């Protein structure tokens, strides 16, 4: 293929993605509006819109309001052209969702985990995928892809190099799923996915620079810089659960000592609690019933969470910190000690324009985030 033809195809692909993105973000919208906003000429826009209509990715509705001439035909994104599967693998649960192309959840499956061997988790994931596919509405494109969020270090090729809290290393989850289902598969660190989920659908929609703190059995941080996910050179950024806050402290599952997550995670909370209180939900119920010992326990965990958050605020100077994953369920008892610790320790000029929120999406941050990755990959082709 000649260089000129190749360049023309790249330009056309980019222009088509731009038109598609404008329709998704600003629907209902006319061809004339697309041309004006994008800077593309009207003939180019018309040609690309015709292709998108033929591909069933958009549809037309009745004429819109006229600005003086003929009333324009209005364009809409066809969010039902296909469906994405988003899966969040935690240490003590697997959650999967089927979403349309706008990120609306149609079906969900949730199962507690007691064993985290790869074979066990893969079996559960396969069962969930099959169930979602069986219940999925009919559409032109069917399943457009599968996204999976995992609590571990994932490289840019989608291999899980290490997931200490699951007991996994060097797992080729992407390859295994693609061989089974023959659709694109995206594997992402769950905190990164949670950050994108909150940015697109949740508490972070109005901010450009966000830190998403995923506080579950372990702790991870998703970093959004200028509305883009920051992943680092090899995709390993955000492993802040393993920053050392006590060099001779508690042993962590990663093999080191004194890691933040050894003091501020759901696992740390359960280890410090009465053995009869064997779940986060049980502890939340005790605190709700006025148990002072449990409330003090949450206060200690909250203070440790605030300590680590202080460190990353001082490092990144974000506009917003969002606290998500399972410890977000305990907002009522964690928020005050987190805020108190930040106010006491974080440099004052970082605090002036800082917003601290708990997740708006709750348990769905990661599954919606990986679903969004899948849709983006599909739309951009």
Percent of the chain with pLDDT over 70: 96
pLDDT, residue 67, reads: 54
Question: What's the pLDDT tens digit per position in 30-69?
Answer: 999 999 999 999 999 999 999 999 999 999 986 655 555 5
Q: How far apart are CA 162 and CA 189, in angstroms?
A: 11
Compute the distance between CA of residue 84 and CA of residue 246 in angstroms, rounded to an integer.
42
The domains of the chain, with CATH numbers, are 3-77 (1.10.10.10), 83-193+365-380 (3.30.420.40), 203-360 (3.30.420.40)
Query: What is the distance between the alpha carbons of residues 307 and 51, in angstroms, rounded to a whole number?
Result: 53
pLDDT, tens digit, for every residue of 158-183?
999 999 999 999 999 999 999 999 99
Query: Distance between CA atoms of 249 and 258, rounded to whole angstroms?
Result: 4
pLDDT one-digit tens code per residue, 290-338: 999 999 999 999 999 999 999 999 999 999 999 999 999 999 999 999 9
Q: Distance (Å, rounded) from C-alpha 355 to C-alpha 319?
A: 6
- Cα separation of 220 and 164, whole Å? 12
pLDDT classification of 277: cutoffs 50, 70, 90: confident
Distance CA 254, CA 259 (A): 9
Average of per-residue pLDDT across 222-230? 96
pTM: 0.92
DSSP 3-state assignment of 32? helix
């Amino acid at each position: 293929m000649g260089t000129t033809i190749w360049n023309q195809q790249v330009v056309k692909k980019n222009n088509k993605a731009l038109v598609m993105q404008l329709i998704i973000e600003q629907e209902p919208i006319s061809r004339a509006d697309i041309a004006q906003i994008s800077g593309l000429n009207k003939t180019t826009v018309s040609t690309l819109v015709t292709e998108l209509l033929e591909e069933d990715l958009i549809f037309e509705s009745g004429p819109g309001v006229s600005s003086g001439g003929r009333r324009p035909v209005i364009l809409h994104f066809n969010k039902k052209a296909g469906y994405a599967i988003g899966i969040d693998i935690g240490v003590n649960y697997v959650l999967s969702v089927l979403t349309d192309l706008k990120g609306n959840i149609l079906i969900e499956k949730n199962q507690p985990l007691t064993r985290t061997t790869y074979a066990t988790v893969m079996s559960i994931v396969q069962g969930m995928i099959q169930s979602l596919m069986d219940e999925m509405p009919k559409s032109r494109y069917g399943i457009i892809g599968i996204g999976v969020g995992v609590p571990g270090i994932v490289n840019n090729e989608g291999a899980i190099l290490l997931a200490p809290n699951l007991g996994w290393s060097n797992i080729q989850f992407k390859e295994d799923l693609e061989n089974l289902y023959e659709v694109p598969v995206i594997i992402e660190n769950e905190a990164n996915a949670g950050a994108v989920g909150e940015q697109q659908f949740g508490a972070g929609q109005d901010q450009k620079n966000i830190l998403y703190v995923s506080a579950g059995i372990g702790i991870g941080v998703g970093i959004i810089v200028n509305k883009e996910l920051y992943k680092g050179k090899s995709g390993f950024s955000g492993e802040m659960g393993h920053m050392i806050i006590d060099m001779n402290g508690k042993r962590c599952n990663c093999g080191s000592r004194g890691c933040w997550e050894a003091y501020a995670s759901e696992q740390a909370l359960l280890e410090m609690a009465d053995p009869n209180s064997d779940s986060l939900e049980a502890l939340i119920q005790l605190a709700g019933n006025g148990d002072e010992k449990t409330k003090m326990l949450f206060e200690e965990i909250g203070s440790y969470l605030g300590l680590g958050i202080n460190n990353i605020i001082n490092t990144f100077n974000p506009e917003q910190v969002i606290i998500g994953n399972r410890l977000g369920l305990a907002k009522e008892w964690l928020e005050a000690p987190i805020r108190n610790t930040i106010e006491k320790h974080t440099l004052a000029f970082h605090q002036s324009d800082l917003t601290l929120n708990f997740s708006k999406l709750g348990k769905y941050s990661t599954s919606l985030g990986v679903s969004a990755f899948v849709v983006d990959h599909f739309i951009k082709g």
